[in-house]
Amino acid sequence: MTDQIAAKQLMDPASRDKEKRKKARKNFWTAMLFMLPAIAIIGFFLFYPMFKTLYFSFFVVNSRGDTISFAGLSNYLYLWESSSFRTSMKATFLFALYTVPTTIIVSLFLAVITNEKVRGIPFFRVAFSSTLGVSVAAGATIWLILLHPSVGVFNNLLAGIGFDRIGWLTSSTWALISVSITTIWMNLGFNFIILLGGLQNISEELYESARVDGAGYWTQLFKITIPLLSPTLFFVSVVTIINSFQSFGQVDILTGGGPNNSTNLIVYSIYREAFESGFFGTASAQAMILFALVLILTIIQFKFVEKKVHYQ
Amino acid sequence: MMRKVIIYILLIISAFLITFPVLYAVSASFMTTQEINRGALLPSSISFDNYVRAFTSVPLFHFLMNSFIVAFGVMVAQLIICSLAAYAIVFIPFKGAKVMFFLFVSTLLIPWEAAFLTNYITILDFGWVDTYTGLMVPFFATAFGIFLMRQQFMTLPKELWESAQMEGCSHFRFFLSFAMPLSKPILSALGIFAFLTTWNMYLWPLLLTNNDDVRTVQIGLKMMISAETGTNWNVVMAGVVMVLLPTLILLVLGLSHLKRGLTQGAIKG
C-alpha cells in the first residue's frame, strides 16, 4: 500500500495525468455498465415510444403499427373538428376539477386528525391508507355494486329516506360524478400517506413556541401547518392532477365511456380509437395531446406555484 | 378533554366512511343473492359457497398466480436495476452523471398512458403478447425507483467507499456488500411499492392478455363481472376480496416502511 503511494509521488506530472485519464475512462465504462439495464428499459419503453408516437401522429397507421400513408396534420385537424373528441376533453377537464381539489382537501383533513397524539392512532392510519392497496379494478367493481340502480347501497339509502333512485352510472349528468367519487376514494390512501409524512416532518418546537405565544388550534393550523406543508401539498397536487389525466380502469369497469361519451376520459378515448376503431394514427395524435397536457401542467405548476411555496 | 372527544368522533366517522366500501365487499361476499337484492348490509349466516363459486366460474387461482409471478418479477428486477443505476450516479465519478440523472428523472414527465400505443406495437413485433415477459419487462426500471435509491445512496458516507477502495474493493462488490445491505429500509419501501403497483396494473394486462394463460387477476375480475352478468354480485364480491387480500395484508405489514420511502421521495425532492 505505502509502496503504491510512494510510487505515485515519484511519477512525473505527464504520466500522472495519463493515469488520471485512464481512471476517468475506466469509471465512465463502469458507470455505463451499471446503468445499462435502466438505460435500455427506460430508453426503449419510454423515450423511444414518445418519438414513435409523435411520428405515428402524422400518419395513417393500422392496428399492426404499419404506416399506410403520410397524413400531415390531418389527424390533429380531425380531432379539432371531432365533436366526440371535444366531449372527451371536456370530460377530462371536468373530471380533474371534480377529483383533484376534493382529494387533496379530504386527505389533508385525514392527515391532520391522525397527526394528533391520541390512543389508537396506528389503527386509523392503516384504515385511512388502506385504499392504496385497493386496485383500480377491485375498487371500481365494489363501486359498481354500491352505485347499482336497484340493489346498490346508495339508492337503497335514498329510497329509504324518501328520495327518487338515481341512475348513478346511466344518466349523463351523474355518470362523471360517480366515476369521480370512486376515483377520489381510491386516491385518498396515497395522498394521505404523503401528507401525513409531511406533517410529521414539521418540528414540534414550532408548535410549542406558538402555544407559548398563545396561538390557538386554528392559528397553528393556518400559520404553521399549512405554510410549512406547502412543498408537500405542491407535490401532491401535481401528482394528483397527472393521475387524474391518466385514469382508465374505473371508466372501463364502471361506464365504458358512456352514456353519450360523458365519461370518455382521454386515455379511454385513446384506447377506443386504437383498439376498437383501429385508428392508431389519430390515437397517437390524442396521446401526444395527453403528453403535452401533462408537460404543460407540470411546467406551469413549477413556475407559478413553487414561488409561493415555503421551504423550511 | 373536549378536544379529544371531537378528534375521536371525527376519526371514527372518517374511518367508517373510508373503509365502508371494502367492508361492504367482504360482507356481500358472504351473502346470498336474495340478501344482496334485498339490500341487506350483513349476511344472515357465514358460508364460503360464493368463494367456491368464484374459484370455479373463472380460473381465479390461476389468475392470482399469474399476478403474483408478474408482480414479484417486476419487484425484484426494479430493486436491482434501479439500485444499480442510482449507485453509478452517486458513487462512480464520471462525466455526464448529472445529465444521466436528469434524463432519468425527466421521464417522470412522460405519462405511460401516452406511450402505451407504441409499446403495444413493440410487444406485438417481439411476439411477446400473452407472455409474462411482455407483461413485466417494460416496468423493470422506473424514474421513481432510480430517484428514490439515489436519495438513499446520497445519505451513505462517501468515506465508506474510499476506505473500501483502499482495501481493493471493486464497485460491484461494494454495491453488493455495503450499499445494498445498508439501504434495506428504502429497498423494502420500493419493493412494496413496485409489488403493489404491478399487482394493481390494469390497462397493460388488458391489452396484452387474450387468453387465460397469463391473464392477471385484475382482468379476471372484469371477466367475472361479465360472466356473472350482474345477477351474482356475491360471487363477484368474493372475487374482489381475493384480489384485495394480498395487497391489503402487504400494506398493513409494510405501511411504516412504505410511508418512510414515499415521504422521502416526495419531500426531499
State the burial class of residue A254 (Cβ atoms within 10 Å of its Cβ: 0-12, 13-18, 19+). Answer: buried
The verdict on a CB contact (< 8 Å) between B8 and A131 is no
- Cell reading at B60: 381465479
- pLDDT for A9 equals 59
Element (H, E) at B55: helix B49-57
B163 contact A CB<8A: no
| Res B265: pLDDT | 63
pLDDT of B127 higher than 50 = yes
Indicate yes or no: CB of B221 within 8 angstroms of CB of A42. Answer: no
| Contact (CB<8Å) A137/B112 | no
Contact list, B122 vs chain A (CB under 8 Å):
44-45, 49
Q: Write down the pLDDT at residue A1.
A: 47
Nearest CA to CA, how far is B162 from chain A (Å)? 14
Which of A48-57, A186-195, B85-94, B246-255 shows the lowest per-residue confidence on average (mean pLDDT)?
B246-255
Nearest C-alpha in B relative to A256: B222
- Report B:105-134 residues touching A (Cβ under 8 A): 107, 109-122, 124-125
Chain-chain contact of B22 with A248 (C-beta, under 8 angstroms): no
- Cα–Cα distance for residue pair A201/B94, rounded to 1 Å: 34
Q: Which residues of chain B make contact with A275, given a CB cutoff of 8 A?
A: 207
CA distance A64 to chain B (A): 7
Written as nine digits, the cell of A221 is: 393550523
Distance CA(A68)–CA(B124), nearest Å, equals 18
- State the Cα torsion B26-B27-B28-B34 to the nearest 10°: 160
Closest residue in B to A289 (Cα) is B114
Of how many residues is chain A composed? 312
Q: How far is A38 from chain B (nearest CA, A)?
A: 5
Q: Mean per-residue pLDDT for B13-28?
A: 95
Considering only CB atoms, B107 lies closest to which of A42, A249, A267, namely A42
Helices (H), ranges, A115-172: 121-129, 136-146, 153-160
CB-based contacts of B269: which residues, under 8 Å, 6+ apart? A235, B147, B151
- Which H helix or E strand runs over B177? none
**What are the domain boundaries of chain B?**
1-47, 58-267
Identify which of B95, B137, B202 has the shortest CB distance to residue A137.
Answer: B202
Q: Which of A47, A109, A153 sits opposite B24 (nearest CB)?
A: A153
Pairwise CA distance, residues A243 & B248, whole Å: 21
Which pLDDT does position A10 carry in this prediction?
61
pLDDT average, residue stretch B249-263: 82
Q: In which residue are the cell numbers 353519450 written?
A: A260
* The three grid cell numbers given for residue A22, joined into one nine-digit string: 485512464
**How high does pLDDT run on average in chain B?**
89
Residue B214 contacts A, CB cutoff 8 Å: no
Contact call for A53 and B117, based on CB within 8 A: yes
Q: List the one residue out of B78, A6, B248 whose CA is nearest residue B86.
A: B78
- The answer to whether A31 contacts B206, with C-beta atoms less than 8 Å apart, is no
ipTM of the complex: 0.89
pLDDT of B35-78, one tens digit each? 888 888 888 888 888 899 889 888 999 999 999 999 999 999 99
pLDDT in single tens digits along all 312 residues of chain A: 455 555 555 667 778 888 888 888 888 999 999 999 999 999 999 999 999 999 999 999 888 888 888 888 889 999 899 888 999 999 999 999 999 999 999 999 999 999 888 888 989 999 999 998 899 999 999 999 999 888 888 888 888 888 888 888 888 889 999 999 999 999 999 999 989 988 888 888 888 888 888 888 888 888 888 888 888 888 888 889 988 999 999 999 999 887 888 999 999 999 999 999 889 999 999 999 999 998 888 787 777 665 555 554
* pLDDT confidence bin for B174, thresholds 50/70/90: very high
Residues of B in contact with A270 (CB under 8 A): 113, 117
Q: How far apart are the first and last CA of chain B?
A: 39
Which has the minimum average pLDDT: A74-88, A232-246, B169-183, B254-268?
B254-268
Q: How many beta-carbon pairs below 8 A join chains A and B?
A: 280
- The whole-number pLDDT of residue A7 equals 56
**Best of A21, A109, A135, A178 to mutate (most B CBs within 10 Å, chain B):** A135
- B4 pLDDT more than 50: yes
Q: How far is A24 from chain B (nearest CA, A)?
A: 6
B121 chain-A contacts, CB cut-off 8 A: 52, 64-65, 280
Domains of chain A, each with CATH number or no CATH: 2-56 (no CATH), 82-308 (1.10.3720.10)
Kindly tell me if the per-residue pLDDT of B230 is higher than 60: no
Q: Which residues of chain B from 59 to 98 reach within 8 Å of chain A, CB to CB?
A: 80-82, 84-85, 87-89, 92-97
Residue A259 gets which letter from DSSP? Answer: S
Q: Cβ B218–A137 below 8 Å, yes or no?
A: yes
Q: Is B39's CB within 8 Å of A156's CB?
A: yes
**B124 and A65 in contact by Cβ < 8 A?**
yes
Residue A154: CB atoms within 10 Å: 17
**Superfamily per CATH, domain B58-267:** MetI-like (1.10.3720.10)
Cα torsion angle, B6, B12, B14, B17, sign? negative
